[in-house]
Amino acid sequence: MAEERAEVSITHHAVGQGGKYVADVAGGDTSGYLEWEPKGSGKTGGDDDVRIATHTVVPPAIGGRGVAAQLVDRFVSDAREQGFKIVPRCSYVEAQFQRHPDWSDLRA
């Protein structure tokens, strides 16, 4: 049985040198998010062309409806549009990369 995808609004927010994609589910007051940081964060300088996916969090109240997948899809879409590569340090993002071999060109 395929999971029902929730209707979500995804926004991107700058957080320090990195960022956070936030998914707000229609009709709800709970959000999920995907956080990333630039490669080299906290060292002698970052690499704008590589972003490390560090965490994907979807609370149980909105789980099982494709929210995490939609967050990763948005991250990947932005990578294609903006020209950056992704290091999938987050286990969920890594699993999505394994499911989508067509994303291999975006892996750093």
pLDDT at position 43 is 47
The residues spanned by each domain of the chain are: 8-102
- The three-class DSSP label of residue 57 is strand
Task: List, for the chain, all residue ranges whose pLDDT scores fall below the cut of 50.
Answer: 1, 42-46
pLDDT at 91: 98
pLDDT of the residue at 45: 47
Model-wide pTM > 0.85: yes
Which pLDDT tens digit goes with each residue over 63-91?
A: 999 999 999 999 999 999 999 999 999 99
Distance, CA of 86 to CA of 22 (rounded, Å) = 18
Class of domain 8-102: alpha beta
SS3 41: coil
